[in-house]
């Protein structure tokens, strides 16, 4: 009888170069690869620590045995203490053996990749000659154009798939829409997840993330088997529905990790957008008008809110000269106050050759 156990753990290669310029986030394949490397490093570290502990314990036992032997010959008074220490070391050795046994069991059930399968024997999806994966060598510009065209033609259908939840429904939908089983769908779902999280639609993001991970599993399975992804749809959904706990746990762990990465990336993009917005509104002196306005005395704030120039002049005149000069300089540097605004406006009109009146600045007046 053939022993298939040796094929239980198969490591999937990570095509890390297959990224898309439209995804403003690390490739999902790269994320998965990094997570896998981290898990393997943790296992290796645990293995080395066990081996080191076992070796240290063995040396201590040998040394203690020698001391006990010498003490028995010499009739040393510390013989009982040495025998007690020897028993403790032997107990520690038994404990280490048990830990090694548990570690070996954990290694056997730990998947080397998200699939840990070969051809499923109980499905009829992959026939004798499954279609090979098309090897596309596209430039980044070509990938971008392909992505735009794909989304334009299929966005409504992609959103329908993203809103599904049950495995049976997803399987049926992809079998009816086989052209969606591709990397562009996964890329679209990643972008959609980030946008949903940025919009504060956290529950919906988690819903779509589930579908994104399903698509990624199908794509990785197709790479491992070197077949067209469409040939792996039935195999994956059958596998995930009848999978052992380790496989389902791996799927759920990857889903949780993916959602966490989406939250982190969305927060980064929001921060980047806020920073870009802040830079865009900086005044000629490099100050933020909003920040400057919030630090102005309430009387000056009222002047700028109402754009009451006479009131502004009265307020400045009533303030101590040094304080007034400090606040007005900051207003100029932030763009709240535009000195010689009318002259600047006339010069700009002359340069553009436009006789039409332009919109006034926030405080459109000449300096006092």
Burial class of residue 235, CB neighbours in 10 A (0-12, 13-18, 19+): buried
Q: What is the pLDDT of residue 189?
A: 94
> Of the candidates 321, 282, 324, 320, which has an alpha carbon nearest to the alpha carbon of residue 300?
324
> Does the structure show a pLDDT above 90 at 306?
no
- For residues 250 and 175, membership in a common domain is answered with yes
Of residues 142 and 174, more confidence is placed in 174
Most confident range, picked from 38-42, 323-327, 351-355: 323-327
On whether residue 123 sits in a domain, the answer given is no
On whether residue 203 sits in a domain, the answer given is yes
- For residues 160 and 270, membership in a common domain is answered with yes
- Over the Cα atoms of the chain, what is R_g? 34
C-beta separation of 221 from 111 below 8 A: no
Distance between CA atoms of 213 and 219, rounded to whole angstroms? 10
Q: What is the pLDDT of residue 342?
A: 54
- For residues 145 and 276, membership in a common domain is answered with yes
The mean pLDDT value of the chain amounts to 77
Rounded (10°) CA dihedral 22, 23, 26, 30 = -90
> Does the structure show a pLDDT above 50 at 321?
yes
Q: What's the average model confidence in pLDDT over 239-247?
A: 81
Q: What is the pLDDT of residue 28?
A: 53
- For residues 82 and 44, membership in a common domain is answered with yes
On whether residue 32 sits in a domain, the answer given is yes
Which CATH number characterizes residue 242's domain? 1.20.58.610
On whether residue 272 sits in a domain, the answer given is yes
Whether the full predicted model's pTM is greater than 0.85, yes or no, is no
C-beta separation of 143 from 20 below 8 A: yes
- For residues 82 and 154, membership in a common domain is answered with no
- For residues 271 and 298, membership in a common domain is answered with no
Domain coverage including residue 222:
140-280
On whether residue 357 sits in a domain, the answer given is no
Which are the contacts of 282, defined by CB distance < 8 A and separation ≥ 6?
Answer: 288, 289, 334, 335
Query: What domain count does the chain have?
Result: 3
Q: What is the pLDDT of residue 163?
A: 94
- For residues 51 and 163, membership in a common domain is answered with no
- Paired with 364 in beta bridges are 338
> Does the structure show a pLDDT above 60 at 181?
yes
On whether residue 55 sits in a domain, the answer given is yes
- For residues 243 and 342, membership in a common domain is answered with no
- For residues 207 and 274, membership in a common domain is answered with yes
Q: What's the average model confidence in pLDDT over 33-45?
A: 72
> Of the candidates 133, 223, 215, 138, which has an alpha carbon nearest to the alpha carbon of residue 170?
215
Tokens of residue 354, six digits: 């436009």
- For residues 214 and 309, membership in a common domain is answered with no
C-beta separation of 297 from 285 below 8 A: no
> Does the structure show a pLDDT above 90 at 343?
no
């Amino acid at each position: 009888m053939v022993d298939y156990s040796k094929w239980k753990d198969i490591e999937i290669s990570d095509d890390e170069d297959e990224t898309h310029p439209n995804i403003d986030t690390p490739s999902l394949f790269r994320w998965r690869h990094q997570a896998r490397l981290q898990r393997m490093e943790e296992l290796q570290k645990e293995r080395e620590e066990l081996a080191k502990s076992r070796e240290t314990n063995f040396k201590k036992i040998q040394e203690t045995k020698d001391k006990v032997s010498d003490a028995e010959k010499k009739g040393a008074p510390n013989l009982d203490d040495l025998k007690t220490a020897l028993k403790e070391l032997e107990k520690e050795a038994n404990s280490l053996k048990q830990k090694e046994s548990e570690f070996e069991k954990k290694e056997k059930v730990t998947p080397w990749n998200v699939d840990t399968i070969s051809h499923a024997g109980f499905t009829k999806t992959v026939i004798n000659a499954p279609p090979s994966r098309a090897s596309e060598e596209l430039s980044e510009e070509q990938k971008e154009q392909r992505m735009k065209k794909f989304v334009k033609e299929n966005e409504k259908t992609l959103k329908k798939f993203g809103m599904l939840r049950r495995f049976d429904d997803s399987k049926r939908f992809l079998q009816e829409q086989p052209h969606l089983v591709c990397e562009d769908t996964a890329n679209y779902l990643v972008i959609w997840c980030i946008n949903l999280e940025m919009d504060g639609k956290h529950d919906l993001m988690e819903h779509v993330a589930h579908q994104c991970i399903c698509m990624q599993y199908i794509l990785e399975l197709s790479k491992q088997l070197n077949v067209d992804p469409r040939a792996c749809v039935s195999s994956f959904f059958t596998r995930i529905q009848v999978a052992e706990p380790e496989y389902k746990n791996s799927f759920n762990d990857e889903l949780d990790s993916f959602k966490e990465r989406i939250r982190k990336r969305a927060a980064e993009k929001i921060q980047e957008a806020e920073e870009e917005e802040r830079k865009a509104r900086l005044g000629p002196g490099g100050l933020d008008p909003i920040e400057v306005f919030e630090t102005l005395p309430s009387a000056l704030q009222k002047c700028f809110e109402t754009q009451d120039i006479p009131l502004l002049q009265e307020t400045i005149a009533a303030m101590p000269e040094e304080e007034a000069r400090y606040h007005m300089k900051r207003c100029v540097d932030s763009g709240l106050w535009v000195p010689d605004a009318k002259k600047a406006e006339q010069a700009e009109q002359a340069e553009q050759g436009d006789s039409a009146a332009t919109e006034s600045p926030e405080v459109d007046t000449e300096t006092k």
